[in-house]
A and B are shown apart, each in its own frame.
Chain A
Amino acid sequence: MTFFRRYAQHYGALVGLAILGMVLLLALLAPLIYPVSPWQGVGEPLLGPFEDPAFPLGTDMLGRDIAAGLAYGARVSLLIGVVSTAVAVVIGVSIGALAGFYGGRIDDLLMRFTEFFQTIPAFAMAIVLVAIFNPTITSITLAIAIVSWPPVARLVRGEFMSLRSREFVQAAVVVGQSGPRIMLTQILPNTLSPIIVTASLMVATAILTESSLSFLGLGDRNMMSWGFMIGAARTMLREAWWMSVFPGVAILVTVLAINLIGEGLNDAMNPHLRGRKG
């Protein structure tokens, strides 16, 4: 059975993929649908949803289009989610691979270093990092990456430790392959499934973290984001519910979609679960 057929057996995973596809499309097409900057007031302030057909999701207190904000916010959310996860995976895989493969002192050192990051509350550290450097999209992405790599490192370390003693790895040592080459070509391909599954779930967490930072006013000043929209709307919660509800729903739906995809990937990639539903 091909990989996609196995993935498609998971009904929720297909729904997740469809939702994420729509969000991605929205993000890509945002400048075409809404040529005007989302920061620009374009209509009456505080229009409710469907009051004016030009602004189906309403406007905020400065007359900015909520729908345009959502479309541009999707770009920021997805961009930060993907890039910060990629950075975190690179850091986590490198540290985990070195620790798991070489063991001993190196393992001790790297794992104590990892624990150092794990013992600090992730969100608090992200706030501190963003506050120290100016809140730009780069610093936010890096801050999220820095707080989210430790679980990856732990996972990869465990996989490397168990694979290192496998006979095919021993065979690679015996034929004279060097350590880095064994790690990259022999062991790493065999750890990809759990890494991909974890990474897909980390994207969801990263989007949530970014939203939380923006909500607290630590977002990039030049980029519209879902978290910022909710943060800006909190003083108007009773007067203009739509200002916070729509971005909230956007976050919820996107994170849910990514989680569903992660679960689907897990089921499709985990050989132990294959045929479980048959």
Chain B
Amino acid sequence: MDKETTSLLRVESLSIPLPAGLDRTYAVENISYELNAGEILCVVGESGSGKSMTANAIMGLLPSYLKPSGGRIVFRGRDLLAMSEPELERERGRSVAMIFQEPLSALNPLMKVGEQVAEVMLVHGEGDAAARERRVLELLDFVGLPDPASLRHAYPFRLSGGQRQRVMIAMALALEPAMLIADEPTTALDVTTQAQILELIRRIQAAKGMGVMFITHDFGVVADIADRVVVMERGLVVEQGMAADVLNRPQHPYTRRLIAAVPHREDGADRTDAGGETLLEVKQLSKTYRSGGGLFSKARVVKAVDDVSFSLRRGETLGVVGESGSGKSTLGRCLLKLTDVDGGEIRFRGRDIVPLSPGAFRPMRRHVQMIFQDPFSSLNPRQTIGRILTDGPVANGVPLAEAQARARELLGLVGLEPSAFDRYPHEFSGGQRQRVGIARALALDPELLVADESVSALDVSVQAQVLELLQDLQRKLDLAIIFITHDLRVAAQICDRVAVMHRGAIVECGPPAQIFDAPRHAYTRQLIAAIPGLAWNPRQAVV
């Protein structure tokens, strides 16, 4: 870290105007920050804050309708904005490399990974074939991929998400760039994989003395790896400084608001008793997916839900956490009978709903409702909000006028304007749509709500509002909630009990205090160790 003061990249009052007719005039406006060699700079902000825009400007990847109107991007003393395309092409990959959010779409699916890494060197005319081959092996080994000699002959689809991201990093490192731009490189990954990739980025940054610009929306990740932080809001840099200062003593109100919204387990907030009667009892539930398999090949069998048992009382929140593929979403779908069940019982109010036919279960559906993950696809684009909210009650025999009156009431309850009733989903933001989704679920006065990753697609401040709304409604209506999430911090914050799922089975279940402070199962310990920003307490930063 002796090169701490050498400025590698300076963004000087950069402005990029947006085409006319959008909600603001600049994508980024008059922003300035610098990146020194040998440090990790985190650019953090919510969606639409313009945090990726500068990275694209640095790489010369802006779409043709966006042209910087002022400012400079000085990289090692030269203005990147003034460079011609051929000059930029030489710099890209050689001096500045970039890794992206979605490693699957960033890799060519028809090319072996070793060839893709070698191609980076080939296009820059680096070394001969034998030298490149040696370098590929070296790189794949360096990013921690197992058995580089055989892995380089694999196609991207054979690799897991984390492995693909490692290949991307190997490609970025191929020419020993002075600077690495990472645009949300871990957002699409599971939490344990994310921890490994963060560790890898930190390791190579230290080993190569690169400057790393790390773009993220997650303050936990920032707490884990940043040396310095730039906070962006709506195209403006609102705060920048050393990581410890920004994280623990945020000055700007927006930063304070963002940090306050970071989900975190409240100390001593474990609700001791949500003492209602038992509402739902699940016994030995199992669901197996079979795919492929013909006359001559064996079917692929995946136990998505494997002998799962738990119970839930009125007014209680059960968190179901796990990584992708752990079967947590399938469990939710089983509870709502959106998918068939292979065995076991789901006793709702004492009655087993598993053997019921779809027709026989339909009258009972109103008691069990679901809030979906994606606020953009969970509302019918061709229906008004009013129609969306009244469809359910009408299907359950409520007169239309009564359902409409109730719908207007619900809009108020979830914090939307009454005028929303006659508008269409596309006129609303993601957070507002999720509120509509919650209102729809509540329209039937359910006793059990299943929330499947219901806040995962939302920005952290909106996420906090929606979580608060859910908790508020739970208290008012004595709802039982099953909260399915991959984010342990969210589960820790709002759940009375947490069930950890791994490969279809619940490996551990208990109150957050027990799960987080004294995890018994090895997998739970691994999950908890991987939580980004574990050591940092955002609540203390904004008291």
Chain A positions within 8 Å of B, measured between CB atoms, are 166-168, 170-178, 181, 185-186, 189-190
**A168 proximity list for chain B (CB < 8 A):** 377-381
In the complex where A166-B377, A176-B363 touch, is A171 in contact with B382 (Cβ < 8 A)? no
In the complex where A167-B373, A170-B338, A170-B372 touch, is A175 in contact with B395 (Cβ < 8 A)? yes
**Residue from A171, A173, A189, A190 within 8 A of B378 (CB atoms):** A171
What residue of chain A has the Cβ atom nearest to residue B437's Cβ? Answer: A171
Would B372 and A176 count as touching, CB distance under 8 A?
A: no
Would B370 and A174 count as touching, CB distance under 8 A?
A: yes
The yes or no answer to B520 lying at the interface (CB within 8 A) is no
**B372 proximity list for chain A (CB < 8 A):** 167, 170-171
The yes or no answer to B396 lying at the interface (CB within 8 A) is yes
CA distance A172 to B391 in the complex (A): 8
**A185 proximity list for chain B (CB < 8 A):** 391
The yes or no answer to B503 lying at the interface (CB within 8 A) is no
A190 to chain B, nearest CB (A): 6
Beta-carbon contacts under 8 Å, B348-393 to A? 362-363, 365-366, 368-370, 372-374, 377-383, 391-392
Can you name 20 extra interface pairs (CB under 8 A) apart from A168-B377, A175-B443, A186-B380? A167-B377, A168-B378, A168-B379, A170-B372, A170-B378, A171-B372, A171-B437, A172-B380, A172-B391, A174-B370, A175-B365, A175-B369, A175-B440, A175-B444, A176-B362, A176-B363, A176-B365, A186-B383, A189-B382, A190-B380
**B506 proximity list for chain A (CB < 8 A):** none
CA distance A186 to B391 in the complex (A): 10
Chain B positions within 8 Å of A, measured between CB atoms, are 336, 338, 362-363, 365-366, 368-370, 372-374, 377-383, 391-392, 395-396, 437, 440-441, 443-444
CA distance A270 to B338 in the complex (A): 31
A101 to chain B, nearest CB (A): 13
A-B residue pair count with CB separations less than 8 angstroms: 66
CA distance A125 to B44 in the complex (A): 65
**B380 proximity list for chain A (CB < 8 A):** 168, 172, 186, 189-190
What 9 pairs between A and B have smallest CB-CB spacing? A175-B392, A167-B378, A176-B365, A167-B372, A189-B382, A168-B380, A177-B395, A167-B377, A174-B370
CA distance A177 to B444 in the complex (A): 12
B308 to chain A, nearest CB (A): 20
Q: Main SS of the interface on chain A? A: helix
Would A176 and B392 count as touching, CB distance under 8 A?
A: yes
What residue of chain A has the Cβ atom nearest to residue B367's Cβ? Answer: A176
What residue of chain B has the Cβ atom nearest to residue A166's Cβ? Answer: B377
A204 to chain B, nearest CB (A): 28
B230 to chain A, nearest CB (A): 33
Chain B CB within 10 Å — which of A168, A173, A177, A181 has the most?
A168
A232 to chain B, nearest CB (A): 49
**A176 proximity list for chain B (CB < 8 A):** 362-363, 365-366, 392, 395-396, 444
**Residue from A167, A178, A189, A190 within 8 A of B395 (CB atoms):** A178
**A167 proximity list for chain B (CB < 8 A):** 372-374, 377-378
**B374 proximity list for chain A (CB < 8 A):** 167
A182 to chain B, nearest CB (A): 9
Would A174 and B338 count as touching, CB distance under 8 A?
A: yes
**B378 proximity list for chain A (CB < 8 A):** 166-168, 170-171
Q: Can you offer 27 A-B residue contacts whose CB atoms are under 8 A?
A: A167-B377, A168-B381, A170-B338, A171-B372, A171-B378, A171-B379, A172-B380, A173-B338, A173-B365, A174-B368, A174-B369, A174-B370, A175-B366, A175-B391, A175-B392, A175-B395, A175-B440, A175-B443, A176-B363, A176-B365, A176-B396, A177-B392, A178-B395, A185-B391, A186-B380, A189-B380, A190-B382
**A177 proximity list for chain B (CB < 8 A):** 391-392, 395
What residue of chain A has the Cβ atom nearest to residue B396's Cβ? Answer: A176
In the complex where A168-B379, A174-B370 touch, is A181 in contact with B365 (Cβ < 8 A)? no
**A166 proximity list for chain B (CB < 8 A):** 377-378
CA distance A167 to B338 in the complex (A): 11
What residue of chain A has the Cβ atom nearest to residue B358's Cβ? Answer: A179
A268 to chain B, nearest CB (A): 16
Chain A CB within 10 Å — which of B336, B368, B373, B382 has the most?
B382
B333 to chain A, nearest CB (A): 8
What residue of chain B has the Cβ atom nearest to residue A188's Cβ? Answer: B382
